């Protein structure tokens, strides 16, 4: 039987799998998407999201966002909120190996016409200054002791050491440093893998992109203005990266620990070992929570140093200071995290550990933890598309409570990297993109082929589904003119 026949249609964009579908499900599973997205969904996602629905302490629903696709443990695009006072667990498979891979967006006061003559020089210089690819190392040289400070202090360490502006901190989730990170809970191997990677992009779907906010792509002009999009054909810079090998090692270390204690010590049985977990309030759960926060902070620091390098490059090429170029941040959003948040469930406020695996926090207007300039409009949400199609800037909405104020994080893959390499040629793709006005640099042609636009869902379809479902609101689409791929 095709899975779509099992789904209960709640609305045009919400589809539910009942608890009767699989033994052990504690809550229904909900998948967000238009009928087109659902028809094209990898059936493995159904198995994963219903496995998530069996985890102890899960509240209300196991969720999958419109960009959902197969991942490790949770589907990518998976969201689950665990009641930590009712035996809720924490699971690395619900957070991801690249802890806090996230997005940052920076505006300028430049127009496309002003930047077009310099685009190749800008991209080439950025390619030199922001190392990309597997094993790349950054220019910030740290001792192991200093690196421990970085993972406990995040972007705050960077600002104190001259890598950015004080105002940047107000525009990062958690003000650039999530409290409770404890470097005593991370392994020496994790430090080995992370100590030289501050200020680097990494590989896969991580990128740095110069984009344009074209007038015809602005959906709400007043909101766009509030977010810093104020002139026609304005040039902005967006990038996506995370905690690199450091976060991967943190996740690997604790997956092994959880697999040893999960059943023998806590009596937790799961349907998929990739969902290895521990009670949140257990010693192992708390140790991982503190170590995972180190991954969050490492990633905030990584993106902060990259922003510093971007400002340097624009200043050098355009012969103006970053201040004169108005290179202010819009926001920095995190994916791949688990955070303690207060949410109203069935009329009662509860303390929930919200896992967002390849999903973005999307707080509504008036909610705590928003910067003061966004209190009235909601949290900025930065969603990256493929390097060929463009990306989006959105805001959170009040009806987002249905997903614990979470939304999509990107386009979502439709094919494996291996399949993409068979279908696309990186050298040909690079030439085609340049003929369409997108100058791209990559560390390898095979890596470029993996990231072809055709390997992803249509970003417009994903964003439309998220807006129709009432979990975020479109503000502006941003189209690429220059791209650096890991």
Reported as a single tens digit per residue, the pLDDT across 233-247 is 999 999 999 999 999
Residue 90 lies in a domain: yes
What confidence score (pLDDT) does residue 457 get? 84
422 is in an annotated binding site: no
Distance CA 152, CA 297 (A): 6
The answer to whether 144 and 191 are in contact (CB under 8 A) is yes
What confidence score (pLDDT) does residue 326 get? 98
Q: How much is the mean pLDDT over the chain?
A: 95
Reported as a single tens digit per residue, the pLDDT across 93-129 is 999 999 999 999 999 999 999 999 999 999 999 999 9
The answer to whether 363 and 375 are in contact (CB under 8 A) is no
Reported as a single tens digit per residue, the pLDDT across 333-391 is 999 999 999 999 999 999 999 999 999 999 999 999 999 999 999 999 999 998 888 99
What confidence score (pLDDT) does residue 4 get? 72
**Does 486 score more than 80 pLDDT?**
no
221-257 residues labelled b (16+ CB within 10 A) or e (exposed): eebbebbbbeeeebbbbbbbbbbbbbbbbbbbbbbee
The tokens describing 403, both together, are: 């997903």
**Does 413 score more than 90 pLDDT?**
no
**Does 480 score more than 70 pLDDT?**
yes
Cβ of 66: how many Cβ atoms within 10 Å? 29
Residue 79 lies in a domain: yes
180 is in an annotated binding site: no
The tokens describing 149, both together, are: 């400070």
Strands 234-241 and 348-357: unpaired
Residue 15 lies in a domain: yes
Q: In which band, very low, low, confident or very high, does the pLDDT at 19 lie, cut at 50, 70 and 90?
A: very high
User: Residue 400 — left, alpha, or beta (φ > 0 → left; ψ -120 to 50 → alpha)?
Assistant: alpha
What confidence score (pLDDT) does residue 174 get? 97
**Does 1 score more than 50 pLDDT?**
no
**Does 2 score more than 70 pLDDT?**
no
**Does 204 score more than 90 pLDDT?**
no
Cβ of 43: how many Cβ atoms within 10 Å? 10
Domain membership of residue 64 as a residue range: 3-97+340-359
Residue 383 lies in a domain: no
What confidence score (pLDDT) does residue 352 get? 98
206 is in an annotated binding site: yes
What confidence score (pLDDT) does residue 6 get? 85
Tell me which residue of 385, 383, 389, 438 sits closest to 407, measured CA to CA: 383
Distance CA 384, CA 367 (A): 24
**Active site members:** 409
240 is in an annotated binding site: yes
409 is in an annotated binding site: yes
Reported as a single tens digit per residue, the pLDDT across 38-89 is 999 999 999 999 999 999 999 999 999 999 999 999 999 999 999 999 999 9
Share of the chain above pLDDT 70, in %: 99
Reported as a single tens digit per residue, the pLDDT across 256-309 is 999 999 999 999 999 999 999 999 999 999 999 999 999 999 999 999 999 999
Average pLDDT over residues 217-223: 98
Whole-prediction pTM value?
0.96
How many domains does the structure of the chain reveal?
A: 1
Residue 91 lies in a domain: yes
Residue 9 lies in a domain: yes
Average pLDDT over residues 418-440: 91
205 is in an annotated binding site: yes
Residue 379 lies in a domain: no
Cβ of 198: how many Cβ atoms within 10 Å? 28
What confidence score (pLDDT) does residue 135 get? 76
**Does 134 score more than 80 pLDDT?**
no
**Does 402 score more than 80 pLDDT?**
yes
Residue 83 lies in a domain: yes
């Amino acid at each position: 039987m095709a899975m779509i026949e099992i789904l209960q249609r709640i609305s045009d964009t919400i589809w539910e799998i009942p608890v009767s579908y699989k033994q052990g499900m504690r809550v229904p599973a909900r998948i967000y998407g238009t009928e087109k997205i659902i028809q094209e969904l990898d059936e493995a996602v159904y198995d994963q999201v219903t496995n998530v629905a069996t985890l102890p302490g899960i509240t209300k629903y196991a969720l999958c966002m419109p960009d959902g696709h197969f991942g490790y443990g949770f589907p990518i695009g998976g969201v689950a909120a665990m009641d930590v006072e009712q035996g809720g667990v924490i699971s690395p498979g619900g957070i991801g190996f690249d802890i806090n891979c996230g997005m940052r967006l920076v505006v300028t006061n430049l127009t496309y016409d002003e930047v077009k003559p310099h685009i190749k020089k800008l991209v080439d210089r950025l390619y030199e200054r922001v190392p990309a690819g597997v094993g790349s190392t950054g220019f910030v040289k740290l001792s192991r002791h200093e690196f421990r400070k970085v993972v406990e202090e995040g972007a705050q360490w960077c600002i104190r050491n001259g890598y950015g502006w004080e105002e940047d901190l107000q525009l990062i989730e958690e003000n650039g440093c999530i409290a409770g990170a404890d470097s005593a809970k991370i392994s020496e191997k994790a430090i080995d893998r992370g100590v030289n990677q501050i200020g680097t992009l990494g590989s896969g779907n991580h990128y740095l992109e110069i984009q344009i906010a074209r007038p015809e792509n602005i959906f709400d002009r007043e909101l766009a203005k509030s977010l810093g999009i104020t002139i026609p054909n304005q040039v902005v810079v967006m990038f996506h990266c995370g905690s690199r090998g450091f976060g991967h090692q943190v996740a690997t270390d604790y997956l092994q620990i959880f697999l040893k204690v999960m059943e023998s010590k806590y009596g937790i049985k799961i349907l998929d070992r990739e969902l290895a977990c521990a009670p949140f309030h257990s010693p192992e759960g708390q140790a991982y929570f503190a170590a995972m926060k180190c991954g969050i902070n490492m990633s905030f620091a990584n993106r902060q140093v990259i922003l510093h390098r971007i400002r340097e490059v624009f200043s050098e090429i355009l012969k103006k200071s970053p201040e004169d170029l108005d290179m202010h941040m819009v926001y920095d959003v995190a994916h791949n995290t688990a955070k303690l948040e207060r949410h109203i469930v069935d009329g009662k406020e509860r303390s929930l550990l919200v896992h967002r695996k390849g999903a973005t926090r999307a707080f509504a207007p008036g909610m705590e933890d928003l910067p003061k300039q966004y209190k009235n409009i909601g949290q900025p949400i930065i969603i990256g598309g493929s390097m060929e199609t463009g990306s989006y800037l959105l805001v959170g909405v009040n009806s987002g409570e249905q997903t614990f104020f979470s939304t999509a994080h990107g386009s979502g893959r439709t094919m494996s990297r291996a399949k993409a390499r068979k279908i696309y040629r990186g050298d040909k793709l690079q030439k085609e993109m340049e003929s369409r006005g997108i100058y791209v640099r990559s560390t390898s042609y095979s890596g470029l082929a993996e990231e072809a636009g055709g390997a992803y869902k249509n970003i417009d379809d994903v964003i439309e589904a998220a807006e129709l479902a009432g979990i975020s609101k479109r503000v502006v689409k941003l189209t690429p003119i220059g791209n650096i791929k890991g």
